[in-house]
Amino acid sequence: MDLHVVQIHYGDGRPAPDREKETTALQQAGVYDVAGGDATFATPTLPKAERDADRIVTLGRVCGQIAGAVADGIAAGRHVVITGGNCSHLPGVIGGLQQAYGPATRIGLVWFDAHGDFNTPRTTLSGMLGGMPVAVSAGLCYPTWRELARQQVPLPTDRIVMVDVRNLDPDEERLIHATDVEVTRDDAALAKAVARLAEQTDLIYLHVDLDVLDASLTPTHPTKEPNGLDIPALLRRIEIVMDTGKVGAFGLLAMYAQGAEGETTMASAIEVMRGALTRWRAASGA
């Protein structure tokens, strides 16, 4: 199984050198070897001249660069892996899938995260852009961000499955329940939701924010949460999605493996990436 690894060295729309250290650590750990093929690497970059005073415009343009890198990997016939960065880059990944396969392609999203990231400017308590990308991709806010990310068509909310989300703002939670987003909290519910999603879509983007794990496994993550999954449970649930045969791209983002306990966080990221790719290879028959 040949890979195309899109390494995002941005935090939102700003360069983030720590993300480079994390993606380099994954590569040096040999995690991509388990795919059994070779790997190419792309590092999307936004020239300084294209940065804008409007941070939504800049973030959208960064996501547009990510979209191009994703589409290039698909055009080369490779399995696309996205890593580094953070959840705000989701529209770029969806944009790349639409660019590669066409805007009419039915894309599903399986979202592993401690947070829903389904806020809009009207529901958010913090104003944090990283708490909004799923709502952006669903077409609920910031169309400039989505369109610059090359995501022409919003994701219908019945094609979004959230896994182990456990910290939602009150209005964000109400908004989720007002849509067709499905939130799952155990293996059986996930298996049922993913089976439905696989029937209704052409491909699935499987996204994992490392904070879906318990805080003890991600001690340096700025949005870590208690009562999360352990790694075997996370890999078991990733396998449920991979085994549909519909996964068109896999992302492990928002590692934040820096600081005094960064080795613990990085070790978790390495184990998750290795396990996910092993299962993807088996599911793809490569």
Mean pLDDT of 105-125: 98
Share of the chain above pLDDT 90, in %: 98
Residue among 89, 108, 245 nearest 180 (CA): 108
* Strand pairing report for 14-15 and 10-11: antiparallel
Is it the case that residue 286 has pLDDT exceeding 80? no
Contacts by 172-176 with C-beta closer than 8 Å and gap 24+? 172/116, 172/118, 172/119, 172/123, 172/124, 172/131, 173/116, 174/123, 175/118, 175/119, 175/120, 175/123, 175/135, 175/140, 176/116, 176/118
Residue among 284, 141, 275 nearest 208 (CA): 275
pLDDT at 80: 98
Token reading at 16: 């983030």
As a whole number, the mean pLDDT across the chain is 97
Mean pLDDT of 28-37: 97
Contacts by 260-264 with C-beta closer than 8 Å and gap 24+? 260/220, 261/219, 261/220, 262/220, 264/217, 264/218, 264/219, 264/220
User: In whole angstroms, what is the distance from residue 53 CA to residue 50 CA?
Assistant: 10
Q: For residue range 152-202, what is the model confidence (pLDDT) as tens digits? A: 999 999 999 999 999 999 999 999 999 999 999 999 999 999 999 999 999
Q: Kindly report the backbone phi and psi dihedral angles of residue 139, in degrees, each rounded to the nearest multiple of 5, phi listed first.
A: 85, 20
pLDDT at 257: 96
Q: For residue range 190-229, what is the model confidence (pLDDT) as tens digits? A: 999 999 999 999 999 999 999 999 999 999 999 999 999 9
Q: For residue range 58-102, what is the model confidence (pLDDT) as tens digits? A: 999 999 999 999 999 999 999 999 999 999 999 999 999 999 999
pLDDT at 285: 84
User: In whole angstroms, what is the distance from residue 117 CA to residue 115 CA?
Assistant: 6
Residue given tokens 């790349």 in the structure block: 96
User: In whole angstroms, what is the distance from residue 82 CA to residue 150 CA?
Assistant: 16
